[in-house]
């Protein structure tokens, strides 16, 4: 990817697109959470993303990494609940790991590995527990493979996206073992995990921003 100014635009556009996409799907996310949780997931994501976008609107002199840290902290404060803490930490960890750059597919893939580790450690969820990890883990693996094949960041990200989508879809046939919905056992069967669907939206928003600003297509 080109320089820091471009990376800063990618961060801002990704978060704006995530807010737009998740706002448009807020009710669907709420319904998925109502199947075995408390129904607040869509609203929590919109609150978190609004706060994240607002937090970096005024922050003009920060590096892309610093912007993500500020956005993640604002997300965690405003979003609340399990997803607020976990998505907030994910965004902030990405920022810490990316730091001042350079930003390319290898550094981003490595930073995403660290994000997966942080979220897994915080929430103690493994693949198959029906959480956001079921979308994030296959994405991280797939972007690592795309990077190993020397794909540019925008291409690598877009190539990895179907793995996240497939992971989120597969949660429909899982029984929740972490988070609020784990208390209700089989009731979550047949419904996708809302956090895994939100993870796909965030990853898709970033993919669209990368393609728009740095893509070869």
- Contact residues for ligand ADP (CB under 6 A)? 33, 37-38, 40-41, 44, 81-83, 86, 123-125, 131-133, 178-180, 193-196
Give the integer Cα–Cα distance in Å for 153 and 90. 19
Give the integer Cα–Cα distance in Å for 10 and 68. 11
- Which residue in the set 37, 64, 84, 88 belongs to the binding site for Mg ion (CB under 5 A)? 37
**Is the Cβ of residue 123 or residue 138 nearer to ligand ADP in the bound state?**
123
| Buried b / exposed e along 142-176 (16+ C-beta atoms within 10 A) | bbbebbeeebbbbbbbbbbbebbbebbebbeebbb
User: Out of Mg ion, ligand ADP, none, which partner does residue 86 contact, by CB within 5 to 8 A per kind?
Assistant: ligand ADP
3-state secondary structure of 20: helix
User: Out of Mg ion, ligand ADP, none, which partner does residue 83 contact, by CB within 5 to 8 A per kind?
Assistant: ligand ADP
Q: Does 33 bind Mg ion (CB under 5 A)?
A: yes
Least separation in angstroms between CB 69 and ligand ADP: 21
Least separation in angstroms between CB 182 and ligand ADP: 8
User: Out of Mg ion, ligand ADP, none, which partner does residue 82 contact, by CB within 5 to 8 A per kind?
Assistant: ligand ADP
Least separation in angstroms between CB 198 and ligand ADP: 7
Least separation in angstroms between CB 121 and ligand ADP: 10
Q: Which residues contact 19 (CB under 8 A, 6 or more apart)?
A: 46, 49, 50, 52, 53
Query: How far is the CA of 119 from the CAs of 2, 99, 115, 177, 205, in angstroms?
Result: 29, 19, 6, 15, 20
Q: Does 193 bind Mg ion (CB under 5 A)?
A: no
Mask for 38-67, x = binds Mg ion (CB under 5 A):
x-xx--------------------------
Q: Which residues contact 6 (CB under 8 A, 6 or more apart)?
A: 213, 214
Query: How far is the CA of 216 from the CAs of 106, 134, 161, 193, in angstroms?
Result: 18, 29, 17, 33
Least separation in angstroms between CB 188 and ligand ADP: 9
Least separation in angstroms between CB 24 and ligand ADP: 17
**Is the Cβ of residue 151 or residue 181 nearer to ligand ADP in the bound state?**
181
Secondary structure E strands in 30-109: none
What residues make contact with Mg ion under the rule CB under 5 A? 33, 37-38, 40-41
């Amino acid at each position: 990817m080109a320089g820091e100014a471009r990376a800063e635009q990618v961060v801002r556009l990704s978060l704006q697109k995530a807010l737009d996409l998740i706002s448009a799907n807020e009710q669907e996310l709420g319904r998925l959470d109502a199947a075995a949780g408390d129904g607040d997931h869509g609203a929590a994501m919109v609150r978190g993303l609004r706060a994240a976008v607002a937090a970096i609107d005024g922050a003009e002199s920060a590096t892309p990494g610093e912007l993500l840290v500020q956005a993640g902290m604002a997300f965690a404060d405003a979003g609340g609940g399990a997803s607020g803490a976990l998505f907030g930490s994910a965004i902030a960890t990405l920022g810490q790991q990316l730091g001042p750059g350079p930003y390319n597919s290898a550094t981003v893939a490595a930073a995403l590995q660290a994000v997966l580790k942080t979220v897994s450690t915080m929430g103690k969820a493994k693949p198959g527990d029906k959480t956001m990890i079921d979308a994030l883990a296959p994405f991280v693996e797939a972007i690592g493979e795309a990077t190993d094949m020397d794909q540019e960041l925008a291409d690598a990200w877009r190539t990895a996206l179907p793995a996240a989508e497939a992971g989120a879809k597969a949660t429909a046939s899982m029984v929740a073992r972490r988070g609020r919905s784990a208390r209700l056992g089989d009731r979550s069967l047949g419904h996708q995990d809302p956090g895994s669907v939100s993870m796909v939206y965030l990853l898709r928003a970033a993919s669209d921003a990368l393609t728009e600003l740095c893509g070869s297509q």
